[in-house]
Amino acid sequence: MALNPFFNNFNYTGEQRLLNDLTVETIRAMGQDVIYIPREYLNIDEIFGEDTKSRFSNGYILEMYPVETLKFGGSKDVMTKFGIAITSRVTLEFAKTRFFQEISTKQPEITRPREGDLVYMPIPGLLFEINYVNDEEPFYQFGLLTTFQITCELFTYSHEEINTGFTEIDEVFEKRTDYATIIGLTGNSMTGITLFQGGEIIRQGDATATVVETITNNRGKATDVYLTNITGSFVAGATLMGIESGAVYTAASVQETIINIPQDPFTEKAMHNNDVIQKQSYTIQFSSDNPFSENC
Q: What is the 3-state secondary structure (H, E, C) of the chain?
A: CCCCHHHCCCCCHHHHHHHHHHHHHHHHHHCEEEEEECCECCCCECCCCECCCCEECCCEEEEEEECCCCCCECCCEEEECCEEEECCEEEEEEEHHHHHHHHHCCCCCCCCCCCCCEEEECCCCEEEEEEEEECCCCCCECCECCEEEEEEEECCCCCCEECCCCHHHHHHHHHCEEEEEEEEEECCCCCCCCCCCCCCEEEECCEEEEEEEEEECCCCCEEEEEEEEEECCCCCCCEEEECCCCCEEEEEEEEEEEEECCECCCCCCECCCCHHHHHHHCCCCECCCCCCCECC
- Count CB neighbours of 58 within 10 A: 19
Contact residues for 83 (Cβ-Cβ < 8 A; gap 6+): none
Contact residues for 276 (Cβ-Cβ < 8 A; gap 6+): none
Main-chain phi, psi angles of 233, to 5 degrees: -125, 130
**C-alpha to C-alpha distances, 31 to 27, 62, 66, 68, nearest whole angstrom:** 5, 10, 7, 11
What does pTM read for this prediction?
Answer: 0.59
Tens of each residue's pLDDT in the chain, 296 residues: 566 666 555 566 777 888 888 999 999 999 999 999 999 887 777 676 666 678 899 999 999 999 876 556 555 555 544 444 556 788 999 999 999 999 999 999 999 999 989 999 988 788 899 999 998 888 777 778 889 999 998 887 766 778 888 988 887 666 666 667 888 898 888 888 888 988 899 999 999 999 888 888 877 788 889 888 889 999 999 999 999 989 999 999 998 876 665 555 445 555 555 444 444 444 444 455 555 554 44
Query: Strand 55-56 and strand 161-162: pairing?
Result: parallel
Q: What is the pLDDT of residue 263?
A: 55
Contact residues for 229 (Cβ-Cβ < 8 A; gap 6+): 209, 210
